[in-house]
Structure 1
Amino acid sequence: MEFFQHYEAAVDWVVNLCPPPDKFAHTYVGLLIWVLTGIVTRRPLYMARTLLPVIGLELVNEMIDRVAHGGWMWHDTLADMAATWFWPFVLCFCLRAFPALTGHKPRPKPVLTPSAQHEIKGPLAPVPPVRATDGHDV
Protein backbone atom coordinates (compact mmCIF):
# COMPACT_ATOMS: atom_id res chain seq x y z
CA MET A 1 0.00 0.00 0.00
CA GLU A 2 2.95 2.31 0.49
CA PHE A 3 3.57 2.31 -3.27
CA PHE A 4 0.06 3.63 -3.91
CA GLN A 5 0.50 6.43 -1.37
CA HIS A 6 3.78 7.50 -2.98
CA TYR A 7 2.23 7.26 -6.43
CA GLU A 8 -0.78 9.38 -5.40
CA ALA A 9 1.59 11.97 -3.87
CA ALA A 10 3.56 12.15 -7.13
CA VAL A 11 0.34 12.49 -9.13
CA ASP A 12 -0.87 15.27 -6.83
CA TRP A 13 2.45 17.08 -7.32
CA VAL A 14 2.11 16.89 -11.12
CA VAL A 15 -1.54 18.00 -10.98
CA ASN A 16 -0.58 20.98 -8.82
CA LEU A 17 1.94 22.07 -11.48
CA CYS A 18 -0.85 22.28 -14.07
CA PRO A 19 -3.83 24.61 -14.20
CA PRO A 20 -7.11 23.20 -12.90
CA PRO A 21 -8.97 20.96 -13.69
CA ASP A 22 -6.82 17.82 -13.51
CA LYS A 23 -7.67 16.99 -17.14
CA PHE A 24 -4.97 19.45 -18.22
CA ALA A 25 -2.42 17.32 -16.37
CA HIS A 26 -3.66 14.25 -18.24
CA THR A 27 -3.38 16.11 -21.54
CA TYR A 28 0.15 17.35 -20.85
CA VAL A 29 1.40 13.99 -19.58
CA GLY A 30 -0.16 12.15 -22.54
CA LEU A 31 1.61 14.47 -24.99
CA LEU A 32 4.87 14.19 -23.04
CA ILE A 33 4.77 10.38 -23.06
CA TRP A 34 3.97 10.36 -26.79
CA VAL A 35 6.85 12.71 -27.69
CA LEU A 36 9.33 10.95 -25.39
CA THR A 37 8.35 7.61 -26.93
CA GLY A 38 9.22 8.98 -30.36
CA ILE A 39 12.55 10.31 -29.10
CA VAL A 40 13.56 7.20 -27.17
CA THR A 41 12.50 4.70 -29.83
CA ARG A 42 13.65 6.96 -32.69
CA ARG A 43 10.42 6.31 -34.51
CA PRO A 44 8.34 8.94 -36.29
CA LEU A 45 5.40 10.25 -34.30
CA TYR A 46 2.97 9.30 -37.06
CA MET A 47 3.55 5.59 -36.36
CA ALA A 48 0.83 3.91 -34.34
CA ARG A 49 3.51 2.25 -32.20
CA THR A 50 4.27 5.56 -30.54
CA LEU A 51 0.72 5.58 -29.15
CA LEU A 52 1.06 2.24 -27.35
CA PRO A 53 2.95 3.59 -24.29
CA VAL A 54 0.41 6.42 -23.96
CA ILE A 55 -2.42 3.89 -23.95
CA GLY A 56 -0.67 1.43 -21.66
CA LEU A 57 0.56 3.92 -19.07
CA GLU A 58 -2.85 5.59 -18.84
CA LEU A 59 -4.51 2.22 -18.29
CA VAL A 60 -1.98 1.43 -15.54
CA ASN A 61 -2.64 4.87 -14.00
CA GLU A 62 -6.38 4.21 -13.93
CA MET A 63 -5.88 0.77 -12.39
CA ILE A 64 -3.73 2.32 -9.66
CA ASP A 65 -6.43 4.96 -9.10
CA ARG A 66 -8.96 2.16 -8.75
CA VAL A 67 -6.88 0.43 -6.07
CA ALA A 68 -6.08 3.71 -4.29
CA HIS A 69 -9.72 4.85 -4.21
CA GLY A 70 -11.22 1.43 -3.50
CA GLY A 71 -13.31 1.19 -6.67
CA TRP A 72 -13.95 2.45 -10.16
CA MET A 73 -15.19 5.98 -10.65
CA TRP A 74 -16.24 5.43 -14.25
CA HIS A 75 -17.13 9.01 -15.15
CA ASP A 76 -13.74 10.25 -13.94
CA THR A 77 -11.87 7.27 -15.39
CA LEU A 78 -13.34 7.68 -18.88
CA ALA A 79 -12.78 11.44 -18.82
CA ASP A 80 -9.14 10.92 -17.77
CA MET A 81 -8.58 8.43 -20.61
CA ALA A 82 -10.14 10.78 -23.15
CA ALA A 83 -8.04 13.71 -21.93
CA THR A 84 -4.82 11.68 -22.03
CA TRP A 85 -5.35 10.05 -25.41
CA PHE A 86 -7.11 12.77 -27.40
CA TRP A 87 -4.23 14.95 -28.64
CA PRO A 88 -1.68 12.19 -29.25
CA PHE A 89 -4.29 10.33 -31.33
CA VAL A 90 -5.35 13.44 -33.26
CA LEU A 91 -1.77 14.53 -33.96
CA CYS A 92 -0.67 11.03 -34.94
CA PHE A 93 -3.61 10.77 -37.36
CA CYS A 94 -2.91 14.22 -38.86
CA LEU A 95 0.81 13.50 -39.32
CA ARG A 96 -0.07 10.22 -41.00
CA ALA A 97 -2.89 11.57 -43.17
CA PHE A 98 -1.12 14.79 -44.19
CA PRO A 99 2.61 14.08 -44.65
CA ALA A 100 3.22 17.69 -45.71
CA LEU A 101 2.79 18.63 -42.02
CA THR A 102 6.13 16.98 -41.27
CA GLY A 103 7.93 19.32 -43.66
CA HIS A 104 9.30 16.47 -45.72
CA LYS A 105 8.51 16.06 -49.37
CA PRO A 106 7.52 12.53 -50.30
CA ARG A 107 10.30 10.65 -52.04
CA PRO A 108 9.69 9.96 -55.70
CA LYS A 109 9.00 6.33 -56.36
CA PRO A 110 11.88 4.63 -58.15
CA VAL A 111 11.36 3.67 -61.76
CA LEU A 112 11.90 -0.03 -62.15
CA THR A 113 14.08 -0.88 -65.13
CA PRO A 114 15.66 -4.21 -65.90
CA SER A 115 19.35 -4.34 -65.17
CA ALA A 116 21.70 -4.51 -68.13
CA GLN A 117 22.65 -8.13 -67.55
CA HIS A 118 19.04 -9.29 -67.82
CA GLU A 119 18.09 -7.32 -70.90
CA ILE A 120 17.19 -9.37 -73.95
CA LYS A 121 19.05 -8.19 -77.00
CA GLY A 122 17.85 -9.54 -80.30
CA PRO A 123 15.73 -12.59 -81.08
CA LEU A 124 15.97 -15.66 -78.91
CA ALA A 125 17.63 -18.78 -80.27
CA PRO A 126 15.20 -21.55 -81.15
CA VAL A 127 14.88 -24.26 -78.54
CA PRO A 128 15.66 -27.70 -79.93
CA PRO A 129 12.93 -30.29 -79.47
CA VAL A 130 13.35 -32.77 -76.66
CA ARG A 131 12.71 -36.41 -77.37
CA ALA A 132 11.27 -38.77 -74.81
CA THR A 133 12.60 -42.31 -74.50
CA ASP A 134 9.65 -43.60 -76.56
CA GLY A 135 10.68 -41.36 -79.50
CA HIS A 136 7.95 -38.73 -79.24
CA ASP A 137 8.64 -34.99 -78.96
CA VAL A 138 8.01 -33.50 -75.57
Structure 2
Amino acid sequence: MAEGGGDVGFSFEEKKGDLFDCPETDALAHCVSEDLRMGKGIAVLFKKKFGGVGELMSQGKKTGEVAVLKKQKRFVYYLITKVKATGKPTYDTLRASLKELKVHCVKNKVHRLAMPKIGCGLDRLEWEEVSTMICEIFSDIDIHITVYRVL
Protein backbone atom coordinates (compact mmCIF):
# COMPACT_ATOMS: atom_id res chain seq x y z
CA MET A 1 0.00 0.00 0.00
CA ALA A 2 2.84 2.42 0.71
CA GLU A 3 4.55 4.26 -2.09
CA GLY A 4 8.32 4.00 -2.42
CA GLY A 5 10.61 6.97 -2.78
CA GLY A 6 10.36 10.42 -1.23
CA ASP A 7 7.52 12.06 0.63
CA VAL A 8 5.26 12.38 -2.38
CA GLY A 9 2.16 10.24 -2.67
CA PHE A 10 0.01 8.26 -0.29
CA SER A 11 1.34 6.00 2.44
CA PHE A 12 -0.35 4.18 5.30
CA GLU A 13 1.23 2.49 8.28
CA GLU A 14 0.10 0.93 11.52
CA LYS A 15 2.37 1.04 14.53
CA LYS A 16 2.27 0.17 18.19
CA GLY A 17 2.46 3.12 20.51
CA ASP A 18 0.74 6.10 22.05
CA LEU A 19 -1.06 8.29 19.53
CA PHE A 20 -0.16 11.37 21.56
CA ASP A 21 3.56 10.60 21.17
CA CYS A 22 3.36 11.23 17.41
CA PRO A 23 5.27 14.26 16.05
CA GLU A 24 3.51 17.49 17.00
CA THR A 25 3.38 18.46 13.35
CA ASP A 26 1.08 15.50 12.57
CA ALA A 27 -2.61 16.33 12.41
CA LEU A 28 -4.77 14.11 14.64
CA ALA A 29 -8.16 12.55 13.96
CA HIS A 30 -10.71 10.58 15.97
CA CYS A 31 -14.45 9.88 16.00
CA VAL A 32 -17.07 11.64 18.11
CA SER A 33 -20.83 12.12 18.25
CA GLU A 34 -22.77 15.26 17.33
CA ASP A 35 -23.41 15.91 21.02
CA LEU A 36 -19.60 16.05 21.57
CA ARG A 37 -19.89 14.37 24.98
CA MET A 38 -16.51 12.62 24.63
CA GLY A 39 -17.08 10.71 27.86
CA LYS A 40 -15.49 7.34 26.98
CA GLY A 41 -12.54 5.83 25.19
CA ILE A 42 -9.81 7.87 23.54
CA ALA A 43 -12.22 10.81 23.12
CA VAL A 44 -11.80 11.52 26.85
CA LEU A 45 -8.05 11.99 26.29
CA PHE A 46 -8.67 14.32 23.33
CA LYS A 47 -11.04 16.39 25.47
CA LYS A 48 -8.50 16.64 28.32
CA LYS A 49 -5.54 17.40 26.05
CA PHE A 50 -7.13 19.86 23.61
CA GLY A 51 -10.32 21.17 25.27
CA GLY A 52 -12.21 23.44 22.88
CA VAL A 53 -15.60 21.75 23.29
CA GLY A 54 -17.37 25.12 23.08
CA GLU A 55 -15.49 25.99 19.89
CA LEU A 56 -16.35 22.58 18.43
CA MET A 57 -20.03 22.96 19.38
CA SER A 58 -20.18 26.40 17.76
CA GLN A 59 -19.20 24.82 14.42
CA GLY A 60 -22.60 23.07 14.42
CA LYS A 61 -21.35 20.01 12.56
CA LYS A 62 -23.65 17.08 11.86
CA THR A 63 -23.12 13.36 11.34
CA GLY A 64 -20.91 12.75 8.31
CA GLU A 65 -19.02 16.02 8.79
CA VAL A 66 -15.81 17.04 10.59
CA ALA A 67 -15.27 19.59 13.35
CA VAL A 68 -11.76 21.06 13.54
CA LEU A 69 -9.55 22.69 16.15
CA LYS A 70 -6.23 24.34 15.32
CA LYS A 71 -3.77 23.67 18.15
CA GLN A 72 -0.20 24.99 17.91
CA LYS A 73 1.22 23.62 14.64
CA ARG A 74 -1.52 21.12 13.87
CA PHE A 75 -5.17 20.48 13.16
CA VAL A 76 -7.17 18.21 15.44
CA TYR A 77 -10.06 16.58 13.59
CA TYR A 78 -13.27 15.39 15.20
CA LEU A 79 -15.05 13.06 12.78
CA ILE A 80 -18.76 13.23 13.55
CA THR A 81 -19.88 9.65 12.91
CA LYS A 82 -23.06 9.38 15.00
CA VAL A 83 -25.78 11.57 16.50
CA LYS A 84 -25.50 10.63 20.18
CA ALA A 85 -22.62 9.33 22.28
CA THR A 86 -24.75 6.28 23.13
CA GLY A 87 -25.27 5.45 19.44
CA LYS A 88 -23.08 3.60 16.96
CA PRO A 89 -21.68 4.84 13.65
CA THR A 90 -22.21 3.12 10.33
CA TYR A 91 -19.64 2.59 7.60
CA ASP A 92 -21.55 5.19 5.58
CA THR A 93 -21.32 7.89 8.26
CA LEU A 94 -17.62 7.14 8.77
CA ARG A 95 -17.02 7.26 5.00
CA ALA A 96 -18.76 10.65 4.75
CA SER A 97 -16.64 12.05 7.60
CA LEU A 98 -13.43 10.69 6.08
CA LYS A 99 -14.26 12.34 2.75
CA GLU A 100 -14.78 15.68 4.55
CA LEU A 101 -11.48 15.12 6.36
CA LYS A 102 -9.72 14.56 3.04
CA VAL A 103 -11.12 17.82 1.63
CA HIS A 104 -9.84 19.75 4.66
CA CYS A 105 -6.41 18.06 4.46
CA VAL A 106 -6.01 18.95 0.78
CA LYS A 107 -7.22 22.53 1.25
CA ASN A 108 -4.90 23.10 4.22
CA LYS A 109 -1.88 21.20 2.88
CA VAL A 110 -1.91 18.56 5.63
CA HIS A 111 0.54 15.82 4.63
CA ARG A 112 0.79 13.84 7.87
CA LEU A 113 -2.16 12.46 9.81
CA ALA A 114 -2.21 10.28 12.92
CA MET A 115 -5.21 8.46 14.34
CA PRO A 116 -6.25 5.51 16.48
CA LYS A 117 -8.11 2.58 14.89
CA ILE A 118 -11.07 4.90 14.30
CA GLY A 119 -14.55 3.49 14.72
CA CYS A 120 -13.21 0.16 15.95
CA GLY A 121 -12.94 0.54 19.71
CA LEU A 122 -16.17 1.28 21.51
CA ASP A 123 -17.90 1.83 18.16
CA ARG A 124 -17.35 -1.78 17.08
CA LEU A 125 -16.70 -1.36 13.35
CA GLU A 126 -14.33 -3.89 11.73
CA TRP A 127 -10.78 -2.58 11.33
CA GLU A 128 -10.17 -4.51 8.11
CA GLU A 129 -13.08 -2.71 6.47
CA VAL A 130 -12.23 0.69 8.00
CA SER A 131 -8.54 0.55 7.02
CA THR A 132 -9.49 -0.40 3.44
CA MET A 133 -11.91 2.54 3.37
CA ILE A 134 -9.20 4.96 4.61
CA CYS A 135 -6.78 3.76 1.93
CA GLU A 136 -9.40 4.04 -0.83
CA ILE A 137 -10.40 7.58 0.16
CA PHE A 138 -6.90 9.00 0.65
CA SER A 139 -4.94 7.03 -1.98
CA ASP A 140 -4.97 9.83 -4.57
CA ILE A 141 -3.48 12.58 -2.39
CA ASP A 142 -0.05 13.32 -0.92
CA ILE A 143 -0.49 12.19 2.69
CA HIS A 144 1.12 9.82 5.16
CA ILE A 145 -1.37 8.28 7.60
CA THR A 146 -0.13 6.58 10.75
CA VAL A 147 -2.56 4.49 12.79
CA TYR A 148 -1.50 3.93 16.37
CA ARG A 149 -2.58 0.84 18.24
CA VAL A 150 -2.03 0.28 21.92
CA LEU A 151 -0.33 -3.00 22.84
Return the TM-score normalized by structure 2: 0.28
Question: Higher relative contact order at CA 8 Å, sep ≥6: structure 1 or structure 2?
Answer: 2
Return the TM-score normalized by structure 1: 0.30
- Structure that is richer in strand per residue: 2
